[in-house]
Amino acid sequence: MPAEALTGSPVPGVDLPGLRAVAELYHRYLTGILLALVQRHGAARASEVVFRTFRRQHLEKFLPGLQKLGLDDRPPAVACAQYHYLSNALGGVKVEWIPETDRKSWVRYLPPRWIFDGTAVCGIPTEVSRAMLWGWHAHNGVSLGNDRLGFVCTSMTTDGGAGLVGYYVEEDRSLDPADRLRFAPGEVPPGPAGELPTVSWDATRLAKVERNYAMEYVRSILPELCAVLGPADAGHVGRTAGRQVAMQYADTVAEMLGAEGSTQSAQGPRSFTRLIARLAAAQGDRVEVEAKADAEALVRQPTWRLMDGVALPPEGFEAWNGLIEGLAVLHGPPPGLRVDVLERLDLGDPFFEWRIRRR
C-alpha cells in the first residue's frame, strides 16, 4: 500500500480536536516530568531544572512578548504584571491582574494551578515553585534594564495559600540580585481584579495558542533536564514519565480525537499510525503513514517542530518518544503494540521512522 502524506489534518479544515489533544498531552507530560524529578532526584535538582527552564523561556519570550501584546510603552511594573496576565490567560491559565499604582502592580495565579495540575500540587515542594519565580519574575527588571524593578511574592499554592500571588514593584533604589525576588506572606492585593481589553481571537487561533503554550514548556524543559541530570539520567526520567503520562491519558486523548483514535475500537497498527499521524500533524509536523501488512505499519516524520533549532542530545528524543510508547501500550487488545524506531531525524537521518507491530 503506498504511503499517505499528511501535511495538515487528515480531516478537512483545521483539526481543532487534534490541537486540543496535543495541548493536553504536552501539558500532562510537563507536570509528569516535574513530579518524576522531585520523586527520583529530589527538590534541589528539580528546582535547578525548573529555574533553568523558566530562565530559558524568559530570555526567549519576554521582550518579544511585551511588544506583541502592545505593553512595551507602559510603566515597567504595570507592563510586567499585565504581560503575565495576558500571556498566561491565553495559554489557558487561571490568572488575574490587580492594579495598584504605576509602580506597583499585582498578578494572581488562582487554583487550579495549570502547571501543577490536579492533585499533583500536593507533590510539588515550595522550592520548586520558588524556582519558577527566580527563573522568570526576578529577571524582568534585568531584561528591561531597570535595576529598581523586583517581584514580591505574598502567597504560594504549594504552601496552601489561595494561589500564587505577588506584585511587581519599582523601588527608589537599585536592587541587589538577592532582592529581585522577595517573600512577604500575608500581604493582600488592594482590590478586585482589573480589566484589560479582551482578545477577540477565534477558536482556531486560541486552540493553537494553547497548543503552543504547552509545547513551549516541553521544548524548554527537555534540554535543561539533560543539562542538569546528564543525558542518560534525563533520558530515563523523561522516557519513563512520558510512558506513564501517555498511558494515563490515552483514553482522554482518544475521546478528544473521536472514534478514529479510540483505544477501545482500535485493533492494530494501522489505526495507531493514524492516531500518531493526526497528533503529529496537529503539532505542526509533516508526516506520512504506510500500511505494510495487517500486523505492521510505518510512520515517517521528516520534521520536528517541537525541537526545531534546539540543541538536544539523543537521549532527549528518547525521553520524548516515551509518549508514543505509552500510547501504544493502551492501543488495542493487551499488551498493546510494539514501537520500533528505525530512523532518527535528530541523528542525521532524513526522517523519524517508527515501525508499529503487534506484540
| Domain assignment present for 247 | yes
| Domain assignment present for 200 | no
Which residues, including other chains, have CB under 8 Å from residue 120's CB and lie 6 or more apart?
31, 34, 35
Same domain, yes or no: 9 and 46: no
C-alpha separations of 209 from 14, 29, 81 in Å: 14, 18, 20
| Domain assignment present for 84 | yes
Looking at residue 294, its pLDDT comes to 72
Mean pLDDT of the region 320-333: 94
The yes-or-no verdict on residue 102 having pLDDT over 70 is yes
Q: Is the dihedral of CA 304, 310, 315, 319 positive or negative?
A: negative
The pLDDT confidence band at residue 6, using thresholds 50, 70 and 90, is: very low
Same domain, yes or no: 86 and 175: yes
Task: Read off the pLDDT of residues 256-295 as tens digits, 9 standing for 90 and up.
Answer: 998 554 555 546 899 899 999 999 999 999 999 998 877 8
The yes-or-no verdict on residue 73 having pLDDT over 70 is yes
On whether the CB atoms of residues 196 and 85 are closer than 8 A, the answer is yes
Which residues, including other chains, have CB under 8 Å from residue 60's CB and lie 6 or more apart?
220
The pLDDT confidence band at residue 8, using thresholds 50, 70 and 90, is: very low
Task: Read off the pLDDT of residues 193-205 as tens digits, 9 standing for 90 and up.
Answer: 998 876 667 889 9
The yes-or-no verdict on residue 2 having pLDDT over 80 is no
The pLDDT confidence band at residue 158, using thresholds 50, 70 and 90, is: very high
CATH of the domain at 269: 3.30.1380.20
| Domain assignment present for 193 | no
Same domain, yes or no: 133 and 49: yes
| Domain assignment present for 41 | yes
The yes-or-no verdict on residue 213 having pLDDT over 50 is yes
Measuring CA to CA, which residue among 105, 91, 26 is closest to residue 61? 91
Average of per-residue pLDDT values in the chain: 92
Looking at residue 261, its pLDDT comes to 45
- Grid coordinates belonging to 300: 515517517
Residue type, 20: R
C-alpha separations of 105 from 69, 78, 100, 164, 167 in Å: 17, 5, 5, 14, 5
Give the number of domains in the chain.
2
Domain-terminating residue out of 168, 183, 198: 183
Same domain, yes or no: 125 and 239: no
C-alpha separations of 352 from 5, 101, 288, 303, 358 in Å: 14, 53, 11, 8, 20
The pLDDT confidence band at residue 93, using thresholds 50, 70 and 90, is: very high
| Domain assignment present for 192 | no
Domain-terminating residue out of 166, 183, 200: 183
Q: How far apart are CA 133 and CA 174, in angstroms?
A: 19
Same domain, yes or no: 39 and 79: yes
Same domain, yes or no: 127 and 221: no
Q: How far apart are CA 163 and CA 123, in angstroms?
A: 16
On whether the CB atoms of residues 331 and 254 are closer than 8 A, the answer is no
Looking at residue 61, its pLDDT comes to 96
CATH of the domain at 132: 3.90.1520
More confident position, 260 or 129: 129
Which 8-state DSSP code applies to residue 157?
A: G
The pLDDT confidence band at residue 70, using thresholds 50, 70 and 90, is: very high
Same domain, yes or no: 165 and 303: no
The yes-or-no verdict on residue 11 having pLDDT over 90 is no
Same domain, yes or no: 176 and 238: no
Ranges 11-15, 243-247, 298-302: which has the least confidence: 11-15
- Grid coordinates belonging to 169: 514593584
| Domain assignment present for 203 | no
Same domain, yes or no: 130 and 163: yes
Looking at residue 334, its pLDDT comes to 86
On whether the CB atoms of residues 96 and 70 are closer than 8 A, the answer is no
More confident position, 184 or 293: 184
Same domain, yes or no: 83 and 125: yes
Task: Read off the pLDDT of residues 25-53 as tens digits, 9 standing for 90 and up.
Answer: 999 999 999 999 999 999 999 999 999 99
Which 8-state DSSP code applies to residue 199?
A: P
Looking at residue 351, its pLDDT comes to 98
Q: How far apart are CA 313 and CA 302, in angstroms?
A: 18
Domain-terminating residue out of 183, 198, 232: 183
Same domain, yes or no: 87 and 214: no
Looking at residue 259, its pLDDT comes to 52
Q: Domain span at residue 50?
A: 33-183
DSSP codes joined into one string, 302-355: S--GGGTT----HHHHHHHHHHHHHHHHTSSSTT-EEEEEEE-GGGT-SSEEEE
Q: How far apart are CA 163 and CA 129, in angstroms?
A: 12
Q: What is the largest CA-CA distance in the chain?
A: 72
Looking at residue 239, its pLDDT comes to 98
The pLDDT confidence band at residue 128, using thresholds 50, 70 and 90, is: very high
Gyration radius from the chain CA atoms:
22
Same domain, yes or no: 174 and 217: no
| Domain assignment present for 118 | yes
Looking at residue 198, its pLDDT comes to 64
